[in-house]
Amino acid sequence: MLRDSAIYILSRVVPSGLGFVTGIALTWLLTPEAYGIYGLGLTIVVLVAGIFFDWHGLSFMRFFQANADNPRFMPTVVQTFVLLCIASLVLVPLVLLVAAEIAGAFGAAGKDYRLLIAIALPGCWAYAWFELAARVQVAQFRPMRYFWMNLTRNLLILGFGLAAAWAWHSAYPVLAGGFVAMLAAGLLFRIPHLSLMPRRFDPEMARRLFAFGWAMALVRALGSASFAVDRFLLETLIGTDAVGFYTAAYQLAQTAIVTIGAGIGSATYSLAVRAVESGDLGAVNRQLSRNSTLLLALLLPASIGAAMVSPTLAKLLVGPDYVGPVANLTAWMALGAFFTGFRANYLDHAFQLGHKTHGLLKVTLVTTTVNIVLDIVLIPRFGVVGVAIANLISGATGMCYAAWAARAVMPMPIAWRDAAKIAIAVLAMALFLWPFYGRGALPALAAAVFGGAAVYGAALLALDAMDLRGVLKRRLARFS
């Protein structure tokens, strides 16, 4: 599990590093308002994917292990994807244009979103196709192909996006270039047994995919709506430049944390599914306990570390027009990413593995409601920082509620002894990082990053968290 997890994390971290470079470089090539339009385009993609496609990918992951040898399974999955594209083509432009008219009634009048929608909707199809092709590699336990897929995509986005920004200084060609890159990468790594022949479509399998996924569709829709409402409320109440600041801060503070969580989740979820399919409850509990410990050991120090070095990164990396607003946002957003990441990549798995996805719907509804209410209350008072505070509070609320609700579905064990050791190691790291907080010099940043990692690793080893000393002895013994 450690090897595959490491590859999956690298499959996210390395390409995400390229995405980070792309996002930060764009702050030097686009005005805050143009960057805000770029952020709104990405928001539309996340929203449409959450409503139409994310449940489909999750259903595929849940049923692949039991249907890998069924010759009609993958054609059914692919043809269902095409039907979802058609449904989104019919519904999305109408809904988003109506929403724009409503926003106009509250102060955003005069803004035309038709070009943005025309670019973002096909972009969503490209994004969703890439994610489906990537999930195929994960389900088949092919981490290296998953790595090369993500690396190819982000290299192409870096090249296309920066070239478009340099040539036109407009968000629209940047978005279009990124979406073309996604489609090209998805098509380079083909899905096996792909067929659009109607006779290969299995209605019963499609029904099973939907029966599992309908609640997940609502879950993803609510989660995506919460993500989108943040941006559109900023657009309506403050302005497009506020969306630009928030998007830049997200790239700076949350990209690495989300990447780590998703990388671990990619590796551990398929292993948990395999354990559940085996019917061995002991094996399930052992696997889930390892999953939670690994996620906590990487996600918590990443979140605390990012909160403490992100203000420095803002001073060093983003364009001059962005520095002040982004520096004020980053710590809040980094801490909020921990609660959201632990819930999404561990606690939420209880409802998927236990086929009780309606329970996850309740969790998401509570989280989204808290987030939207706090947005409405805090944005007028604190501006763009109010969104970051709302995300932190709603993320913590959602994680706590998910932990409580999961008990009725499937036990989600946590090795509390190791968790305590991890917390102590993170505290030691935070104490080391404290003197570096907010410093704008590159040597201080390097000392904070490398020194903090060294302190955390040494503390874990001293406390023997996760039997780390035993693992190292066994690994070293292989080379002796």
Rounded Cα–Cα distance for residues 126 and 208 (Å):
25
Within-domain flag for 298: yes
pTM for the full model?
A: 0.85
Whether 437 maps to a domain, the answer reads no
Residue 82 inside a domain? The answer is yes
Domain presence at residue 462: no
> What is the 3-state composition of the chain as percent helix, strand, coil, each rounded to the nearest 5?
85, 0, 15
Query: pLDDT for 343-392, tens place per residue?
Result: 999 999 998 888 787 788 889 999 999 999 999 999 999 999 999 999 99
**Residue 134: which residues within 8 A CB-CB, separation 6 or more?**
146, 149, 150, 186, 189
Domain interval for residue 180: 2-414
CA distance 227 to 232: 9
Which is more confidently placed, 191 or 341? Answer: 341
> Is residue 124 a part of any domain in this protein?
yes
Q: How confident is the model at residue 110 (pLDDT cuts 50, 70, 90)?
A: very low
With both helix axes pointing from N to C terminus, report the angle between 54-67 and 73-103 in degrees, rounded to the nearest 10. 170
- pLDDT recorded at residue 132: 94
The predicted structure's pLDDT at residue 396: 97
Helices and strands of the chain, counted as H and E runs: 18, 0
Give the number of domains in the chain: 1
pLDDT of residue 5: 61
Confidence band, pLDDT 50/70/90 cuts, at residue 480: low
Structure tokens given for 401 = 């509620």
Q: Is residue 468 part of a domain?
A: no
Q: How confident is the model at residue 106 (pLDDT cuts 50, 70, 90)?
A: low
Tell me the pLDDT band of 206, cut-offs 50, 70 and 90: very high
pLDDT confidence of residue 105: 57
Q: Which residue has the tokens 């979103």?
A: 113
- Distance, in Å, from the CA atom of 185 to the CA atom of 296, rounded to the nearest integer, reads 31
- Closest listed residue to residue 251, CA positions, set 17, 4, 3: 17
Q: Where are the alpha helices (DSSP H) in 383-467?
A: 384-406, 416-433, 442-463
Is residue 157 a part of any domain in this protein?
A: yes
Q: What percent of the chain has pLDDT over 90?
A: 53
CB 329 within 8 A of CB 384: yes
| 422 belongs to a structural domain | no
Report the chain's mean pLDDT, rounded to a whole number.
88
What mean pLDDT is predicted for residues 242-265?
87
Q: Single out the residue of 182, 154, 124 nearest to residue 10, CA to CA.
A: 154
pLDDT at 189: 76
Mean pLDDT of 452-473: 91
DSSP letter for each residue of 279-309: T-HHHHHHHHHHHHHHHHHHHHHHHHHHHHH
Band of pLDDT at residue 107, cut at 50, 70 and 90: low
What is the length of the chain? 480
Rounded to 5°, angle at Cα 334 from 333 and 338: 110
